[in-house]
Amino acid sequence: MIRINLLGQPRPKAARRAVAPAATTLVFILLGGVLFSVIVLWVFWYQDNQQLSQRNDEITRLRQDKARLEPLRQQVELREKQKAILAQRGAIIDELMRNKTGGQELLSMMANAVVRTDTLWLTSLQRKGNGLTIEGTAASITAVADFITQLKRSGYFNNVEIKESRQDERTPNVTTFNFTLTADFVLPSATAPTAPAARRG
């Protein structure tokens, strides 16, 4: 028996058959998108992993270099400490040598200046480096001035200055003055400066 579709409606089976290829295509598209996303993510992960591996290798290399250079750094620090200690010792030795150098000349020149000055006595002589602090007693201010002149003329004393001069009230019957001087002790040059050669006419 033959059936005729007089209403013109599509058959359900034919519609189902038409929908099947479209769904399959959509599934393939979705699967392709997922696969592409997975590939892209894997590429990014691989690149990040390579960079991380390179960073780790660099960190390991830097740590090895640091461990290798650590003994050298310690040696440099030890040398610097030894250098500082030697410099300090050298400064102390130089200071002692400066204080020692010219001791005999200092006493000799000071004694000569006192001998050449009338009515003047020294009560204290302190030396710190090249600086001198001189204390004494004189019968007059003029004697103190003469003593300063003798020190300057000797050539061994510079910057001679009087810091204090006062009358000694402990001896009212005898007029005396207590004074304090400061000066710099210098050794004169062993060789005199050579005169410039005369110009030829």
Q: How many CB atoms lie within 10 A of CB 135?
A: 15
- The predicted structure's pLDDT at residue 159: 94
- The predicted structure's pLDDT at residue 201: 39
DSSP H helical ranges for the chain: 12-100, 103-115, 141-154
Q: Which amino acid is at 64?
A: Q
Domain 102-185 classification at class level: alpha beta
- The predicted structure's pLDDT at residue 190: 41
The one-digit pLDDT tens for each residue of the chain (201 residues) are 555 555 555 555 544 555 567 678 877 788 888 888 889 889 889 888 888 888 888 898 888 888 888 888 888 888 888 788 778 667 656 655 655 557 788 888 999 999 999 899 999 999 988 899 999 999 999 999 999 999 999 999 999 999 998 888 777 777 889 999 999 998 876 434 444 444 443
* Structural tokens at position 83: 């250098």
Rounded to 5 degrees, φ, ψ at 86 are -65, -40
Rg (CA), the chain: 53
Q: List the chain domain ranges.
A: 12-100, 102-185
Which residue's entry shows tokens 């003055």?
Answer: 177
Burial environment of residue 134 by CB neighbours within 10 A (0 to 12, 13 to 18, 19 or more) = buried
- The predicted structure's pLDDT at residue 179: 95
- The predicted structure's pLDDT at residue 64: 87
